[in-house]
């Protein structure tokens, strides 16, 4: 076993937590829940780190926001964000990373499109269920409005983010950059793109 493997995983955990935070700054404010790039990095954290480390990565991100770093959507921070309209989605992100992590176990294994998307769809549902439930509670509204505000505008884009996360994982795996063994190429072979 590579003696640097634990350090490699720790670096990847911090890197992906930072990527989730960066995704929170890339937003389109369309209502109480903005469109952001966060789900892409949440899914990727699970695929790359596995269920336990993926969930811990998202908890690290949430902790950073709770203690005051401006990492939540739109640069917000503080514990009050967990009680706001997007609080349920933050909890859902932890579940999402855990579910996508089940697809690979966090060992740099090859990930087929079918397996990646097969775990990505339930991960997306895991984000939406607590998100929409909590949004409905915070806004004190009916289910129709909660679904219109917290699900309908995001579903097509978030499905594309699952596809993008699987594509990123497959590229990172092919280039042997992932934590774990990182030496399994996806079916069909292929090589790491070269520059220069």
At 84-132, the pLDDT tens digits run 999 999 999 999 999 999 999 877 788 999 999 999 999 999 999 999 9
Q: How confident is the model at residue 185 (pLDDT cuts 50, 70, 90)?
A: very low
Percent of the chain residues topping a pLDDT of 90: 70
Q: How does the average pLDDT of the chain come out, rounded? A: 89
Residues 134-140 have a mean pLDDT of 96
* Token output for 79: 């514990």
CATH of 5-174, one of 1.10.1760.20, 3.30.360.10, 3.40.50.11540, 3.40.50.620: 1.10.1760.20
Q: How confident is the model at residue 60 (pLDDT cuts 50, 70, 90)?
A: very high
User: Smallest Cα–Cα separation from 178: which of 61, 45, 30, 56?
Assistant: 45
- Cα separation of the two ends of the chain: 33
Q: Residue 186: its pLDDT value, please? A: 44
Please say whether the beta carbons of 166 and 101 come within 8 A: no
Q: How confident is the model at residue 73 (pLDDT cuts 50, 70, 90)?
A: confident
Three-state SS for the chain is: CCCCHHHHHHHHHHHHHHHHHHHHHCEECCCCCCEECHHHHHHHHHHHHHHHHHHHHHHHHHHHHHCCCCCEHHHECCHHHHHCCCHHHHHHHHHHHHHHHCCCCCCCCCCCHHHHHHHHHHHHHHHHHHHHHHHHHHHCCCHHHHHHHHCCCCHHHHHHHHHHHHHHHHHHHHCCCCCCCCCCCCCCCCCCCCCC
Q: Residue 182: its pLDDT value, please? A: 44
Q: Residue 166: its pLDDT value, please? A: 97
Domain parsing of the chain, residue ranges:
5-174
Q: Residue 9: its pLDDT value, please? A: 85
The greatest distance separating any two alpha carbons of the chain, rounded to the nearest whole angstrom, comes to 56
At 155-172, the pLDDT tens digits run 999 999 999 999 999 999
């Amino acid at each position: 076993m590579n003696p640097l493997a634990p350090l490699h995983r720790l670096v990847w955990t911090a890197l992906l937590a930072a990527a989730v935070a960066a995704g929170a700054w890339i937003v389109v404010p369309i209502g109480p829940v903005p469109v952001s790039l966060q789900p892409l990095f949440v899914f990727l954290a699970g695929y790359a780190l596995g269920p336990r480390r993926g969930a811990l990565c998202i908890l690290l991100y949430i902790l950073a926001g709770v203690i005051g770093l401006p990492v939540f959507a739109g640069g917000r921070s503080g514990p009050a964000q967990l009680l706001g309209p997007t609080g349920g989605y933050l909890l859902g992100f932890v579940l999402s990373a855990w579910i996508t992590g089940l697809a690979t176990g966090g060992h740099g294994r090859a990930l087929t499109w079918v397996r990646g998307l097969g775990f990505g769809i339930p991960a997306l549902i895991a984000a939406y269920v607590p998100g929409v439930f909590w949004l409905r509670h915070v806004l004190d509204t009916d289910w129709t409005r909660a679904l219109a505000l917290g699900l309908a505008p995001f579903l097509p884009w978030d499905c594309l983010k699952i596809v993008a996360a699987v594509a990123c994982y497959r590229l990172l795996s092919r280039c042997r950059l992932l934590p774990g063994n990182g030496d399994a190429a996806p079916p069909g072979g292929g090589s790491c793109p070269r520059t220069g």
